Amino acid sequence: MPISDYLVTIGLEVHCQIKTNTKMFCSCQAGFGYDPNTNVCPTCLGMPGALPVLNEFAIERTLLTGLMLGCGNPEISQWDRKNYFYADMPKNYQTTQMDFPLCLGGKVPLYSWAFPTDAKVKSESAIVRMVELEHIHLEEDAGKLTHYNNYSLVDYNRGGTPLMEIVSAPDITSPEECYAYLKSLQQILICGGISDADMEKGQMRCDVNVSLRPHGQDKLGERTEMKNVNSMSAARRSLVYEIARQAGELDRGIPQVQSTRRWDDDRGESIVMRSKENAHDYRYHTCPDLIPVHTAPLLARVIDLVPELPDALQARLIQQYALAEADANTLVADSATCAYFEAAAEQSTSPRKVANWTINNLSAMLSEKDISIAQCPLSPTALAGLVNIVEEDIVSVNQAMEVLALLWEQPELTATAAAASLGYKKTDTGALESLVEKVLAENPDKVELIKNGNTKLINALTGQVMKAGNPKPNPKIVTEIITAKLGL
């Protein structure tokens, strides 16, 4: 049967490192980029007698995430031990939550702009649909294993980092929806300051569960789980492969067996790791070293911290700044760039032009220099000033690009000062008209040809005025004056 004859059911377990200064159960520094095995202590290494202490900030941020996603909360949440034996967890168990997680239910919106560029969907609103969640729980991250041909290295710096696991219901129906889910969720987490959610740095990872069943069958098929997929595009590719693999085997009468697989993105295929793994295999039991958490007092602390979510932000950008929907979508997709735009727009008479310069010209320069908006030497004030001098006809768009390059090298300058240093100042209209009249008088042959229909020669006269002008005039204004003088 073709793949379309099967119902595809996908569920995601998204692991997100919470942005905290210290680890979940000890005072070791949390973060990315440190020398291996330098941020460790007896507690996160599981030494005998070392006792955990809860990171209250991480708990609050998990509850804040639940509020952003419309979750409910049990009155009391407790901690459990998940037992397994692997080199990335020196304690041989993970402190996590099983029976009473911090957040229950909830939904993740699929934003229209979050779908892959080659699979955009038409939607009358910013939210295409909502994906149901089962729960969100908090746990500690494991160490990082790096595998080589005949040996592996382990870095325990990551071990013990607060890790939030957001578990969806089996409510996603395609690889494209999976991509949009991850992108939308990432934007919400960044928006709330919960995490930088950088998948390249391992701050956000996901386990992808997928099963197939024929149309008309209510019971879900046997699922496979692909562990630690580390990019949105990889999650999409892994699902395309796995759906085709399962469909092919089902067509040949091969029953599917619940299994855990590893996605090899280089080879473009999934590889079996182990089969038939359920909760009882981990021998969960209540953690004896940690007391249950009463959620109400902590919820009261964070309820006023719920931010403007991406869909509300998109609507406000369109309404407040009169932006095109496509520009608003682009800005919402990158919270740092959006914040930069808003800071600049507040100082400009033309927010739409600020958006255009931010999305196109500034982004191009950042890409060329291979730096982020946070490292940009050009301040929002300088960009607003640049847009303003274009709007005031002090410089043309092409001249503004020269000014932009100078501001990049000398960010202490204002846009007006940078333009002046390049010879661009507001030209006295009377003086400019006199200069135009002089050039017209010196070129009667060209004037005659222009009047007879050869309007391309206007550019030649504009060039002569530009060459003679001091300070350098705006060519747009020069052309307008020439056209008016010639009665065109």
pLDDT band at 420 (very low <50, low <70, confident <90, very high): confident
- pLDDT value at position 110? 97
Angle between helices 458-468 and 444-451 (to 10 degrees): 140
> Which residues are bridge partners to 165 per DSSP?
15, 137
CB 139 within 8 A of CB 163: yes
Query: Exposure string (b/e) for 12-31, b if CB count within 10 Å is 16 or more?
Result: bbbbbbbbbebbbbbebebb
Residue 451 sits in the same domain as residue 318: no
Return the residue matching tokens 């320069």: 365
- pLDDT value at position 395? 86
> What's the chain's average pLDDT?
90
- pLDDT value at position 123? 87
pLDDT tens for 146-188 read 989 899 999 999 999 999 999 999 999 999 999 999 999 999 9
Look at residues 105, 100, 98 and name the one whose alpha carbon lies nearest to residue 75: 100
Residue 228 sits in the same domain as residue 84: yes
CB 362 within 8 A of CB 382: no
| SS3 label, residue 260 | strand
Residue 202 sits in the same domain as residue 298: yes
- Look up the domain containing 337 and give its range: 310-421
Residue 179 sits in the same domain as residue 288: yes
Count helices and strands in the chain by DSSP H and E runs: 16, 16
pLDDT band at 485 (very low <50, low <70, confident <90, very high): low
Residue 286 sits in the same domain as residue 252: yes
CB 88 within 8 A of CB 159: yes
Residue 205 sits in the same domain as residue 348: no
User: Residue 209 burial by CB count (10 A; 0-12/13-18/19+): exposed, middle or buried?
Assistant: buried
Given 302, 318, 346, the domain boundary residue is 302
Copy the structure tokens of residue 54.
């809860």
Cα–Cα distance for residue pair 251/172, rounded to 1 Å: 23
pLDDT tens for 452-462 read 666 676 677 77
Residue 217 sits in the same domain as residue 363: no
Total domains in the fold of the chain:
3
Residue 412 sits in the same domain as residue 436: no
Residue 343 sits in the same domain as residue 371: yes
Cα–Cα distance for residue pair 407/367, rounded to 1 Å: 17
- pLDDT value at position 465? 64
User: Residue 434 burial by CB count (10 A; 0-12/13-18/19+): exposed, middle or buried?
Assistant: exposed
Total-model pTM: 0.85
Residue 293 sits in the same domain as residue 355: no
Distances (CA, A) of 145 to 88, 150, 153, 472: 6, 13, 6, 62
Given 302, 329, 354, the domain boundary residue is 302
> Residue 465, Cβ neighbours under 10 Å: how many?
21
Describe the chain by its helix, strand, coil percentages, rounded to 5: 45, 20, 35
Angle between helices 335-345 and 380-391 (to 10 degrees): 50
Give the range among 38-42, 43-47, 48-52, 270-274 with minimum mean pLDDT. Answer: 270-274
Copy the structure tokens of residue 423.
């010879």
Copy the structure tokens of residue 269.
């295929």
Residue 250 sits in the same domain as residue 372: no
Cα–Cα distance for residue pair 57/61, rounded to 1 Å: 6
- pLDDT of residue 451 exceeding 90, the answer is no
Residue 331 sits in the same domain as residue 297: no
Given 302, 323, 343, the domain boundary residue is 302
The listed range with the strongest mean pLDDT (41-50, 67-76, 387-396, 467-476) is: 67-76
Look at residues 437, 442, 426, 438 and name the one whose alpha carbon lies nearest to residue 486: 437
Angle between helices 429-442 and 475-485 (to 10 degrees): 60
Cα–Cα distance for residue pair 298/447, rounded to 1 Å: 78
More confident residue, 398 or 344: 344
CB 218 within 8 A of CB 211: no
